[in-house]
Amino acid sequence: MQLEARPSGPLRGACVPPGDKSISHRALILGALAEGETQIAGLLEGADVLHTAGAMRALGAAPERVGEGAWRILGRGRLAAPDATIDCGNSGTGVRLIIGAAAGYPLAATFTGDDSLRRRPMLRILTPLELMGARFDAAEGGRLPLTLHGGAPNGGPLRAISYTLPVASAQVKSAILLAGLNAEGVTQILEPEPTRDHTERMLKGFGAALQIEGRAIRIAGGQRLHASSVRVPSDPSSAAFAIVAALIVPGSELRAENVLLNPTRTGLFQTLIDMGADLSIENRRDASGEEVGDIVARHSSLRGIVVPPERAPSMIDEYPILAVAAACAEGDTIMRGIAELRVKESDRIALMAKGLTACGASVEEEKDALIVHGTGAPPRGGAQIATGGDHRIAMSHLVLGLAAKEPVRIDEAGMIETSFPAFPAFMRALGADIS
């Protein structure tokens, strides 16, 4: 299915973006590891998260949908060997965290995914988990499909390790922490840069004890988790599309409600403010241990900046939509230290450079950087975009089409369901011309 976005009038109104994908994955996984019935409200019901729910069911838990975004999951305090291969679809977060959680149990499980996921690197989690005693039979380069042989070879628990992450990665950190729950001793992780800390926060909510000193995180093995209630806030990565659309479409003003404001996830909002965006945050409050608030965005004249490379972990998923904002800004926006974008669902640096160039923007692509030369006005548009099967590439270019002089069409839209179900309808409700 193709979608086209056409130049639109002002975007206005209040909206509640979908539940946060990162927290949704973790709520299902920790609920499965815990003892008792965990209640989840606001779960993102996109394809990625539903694959994680299916994986938890295959591993012996009992997740059940009881209403829109409302789920309960009966955990048994352990995971069991699945009867069939576990398909994680397109979700890198889901498969890496699930493998980490399952590695601590004496079971064998085979994991696969779609074509995109099978191309993505898994050695970054396999290496530390092998140091802990888990074993893997994987495709070439440590990729999916792979079979996990959990627990130590002698049938005992994994062994604790002290591991320094070679790159800042919340997924790798989380996989090690989840495996560390069933390791003998205290597992320590050292981060080169702070990354999103949802796993640490949620582990505490499920009764686990962690020690956090600077960039060192320690977890003792042998801990048991207890069922909890989780309220999932709106995903800032999803809210970003409506927010940037409001900034670049003249006359727009909208309110995105209940948005996660965890400081490890707000890099885009700070970057937009640095570019001159009229953004304000209201009604800050707590939701299940996470800060949330309402973000008000108004049409703004943006200026290009140099984005601090150390900010990348706090906005790694938002660079595609930031590139759209940069294409509408005055001056150069320089984004460096983003090599991680090469190994997401697609090569996001290459696809954003190609798509923006097709729409008339001036863009330079480097190995770990994207440089957008803005003119102070949206580029002309008028192109069909090859999305590479990547939901964020697709949605970013549709947002550009709302401000461009000519419509922007994407070659495929089905994969948007992985993270943002009903995205076109959501945007149309605010006044966007997308069909």
Same structural domain, 260 and 131: no
Same structural domain, 250 and 398: yes
What mean pLDDT do residues 269-274 have? Answer: 98
| Predicted local distance difference test score (pLDDT) of residue 143 | 95
d(CA 76, CA 57): 12
Same structural domain, 151 and 287: no
- Kindly compute the dihedral angle of the four CA atoms of residues 175, 180, 186, 190, in this order, to the nearest 10 degrees: 0
pLDDT in tens, 111-135: 999 999 999 889 999 999 999 999 9
Same structural domain, 80 and 194: yes
Same structural domain, 294 and 403: yes
Helix, strand, coil share (%) of the chain residues, nearest 5: 35, 30, 35
d(CA 253, CA 249): 9
Query: Is 226 domain-assigned?
Result: no
| Predicted local distance difference test score (pLDDT) of residue 290 | 93
Domain boundary pick from 219, 244, 279 = 219
What mean pLDDT do residues 213-223 have? Answer: 96
Query: Is 425 domain-assigned?
Result: yes
pLDDT of 342 over the 90 cut = yes
pLDDT band at residue 154 using 50, 70 and 90 as cut-offs: confident
pLDDT in tens, 94-115: 999 999 999 999 999 999 999 9
Question: What pTM, to 2 d.p., does this model score?
Answer: 0.92
Domain boundary pick from 177, 192, 219 = 219
| Predicted local distance difference test score (pLDDT) of residue 22 | 96
| Predicted local distance difference test score (pLDDT) of residue 1 | 81
Helix (H, G, I), strand (E, B) or coil at 117: helix
pLDDT band at residue 396 using 50, 70 and 90 as cut-offs: very high
pLDDT band at residue 343 using 50, 70 and 90 as cut-offs: confident
Same structural domain, 383 and 409: yes
Domain boundary pick from 219, 242, 258 = 219
CA distances from 247 to 131, 273, 402, 416 (A): 47, 11, 11, 22
**Both structure tokens of 313:** 């972990």
What is the chain's mean pLDDT, rounded? Answer: 96
| Predicted local distance difference test score (pLDDT) of residue 288 | 84
pLDDT band at residue 282 using 50, 70 and 90 as cut-offs: very high
Query: Is 7 domain-assigned?
Result: yes
Query: Is 229 domain-assigned?
Result: no
Q: What is the CATH number of the domain that holds 147?
A: 3.65.10.10
What mean pLDDT do residues 194-211 have? Answer: 96
pLDDT band at residue 153 using 50, 70 and 90 as cut-offs: confident
| Predicted local distance difference test score (pLDDT) of residue 319 | 98
Same structural domain, 141 and 162: yes
Same structural domain, 82 and 14: no
Residues spanned by the domain of 123: 21-219
- Give me the active site residues, please: 317
| In contact, 128 and 142? CB cutoff 8 Å | no
Query: Is 207 domain-assigned?
Result: yes
What mean pLDDT do residues 63-67 have? Answer: 97
Structurally, the chain folds into a number of domains equal to 2
Same structural domain, 206 and 275: no
**Both structure tokens of 358:** 């097709």
pLDDT of 392 over the 90 cut = yes
pLDDT of 46 over the 90 cut = yes
| Predicted local distance difference test score (pLDDT) of residue 137 | 96
Helix (H, G, I), strand (E, B) or coil at 92: helix
Query: Is 153 domain-assigned?
Result: yes
Query: Is 352 domain-assigned?
Result: yes
* DSSP class per residue in 342-404: GGSSS-HHHHHHHHHHHTT-EEEEETTEEEEEEESS---B--EE--TT-HHHHHHHHHHHHHS
Work out the percent of the chain whose per-residue pLDDT is above 90: 94
Same structural domain, 325 and 405: yes
| Predicted local distance difference test score (pLDDT) of residue 156 | 85
pLDDT of 172 over the 90 cut = yes
Same structural domain, 244 and 294: yes
pLDDT band at residue 363 using 50, 70 and 90 as cut-offs: very high
Same structural domain, 393 and 285: yes
Angle at 360 between CA 326 and CA 408, to 5 degrees: 90
H-assigned helices in 123-235? 123-131, 170-180, 198-205
pLDDT in tens, 293-315: 999 999 999 999 999 999 999 99
Query: Is 160 domain-assigned?
Result: yes
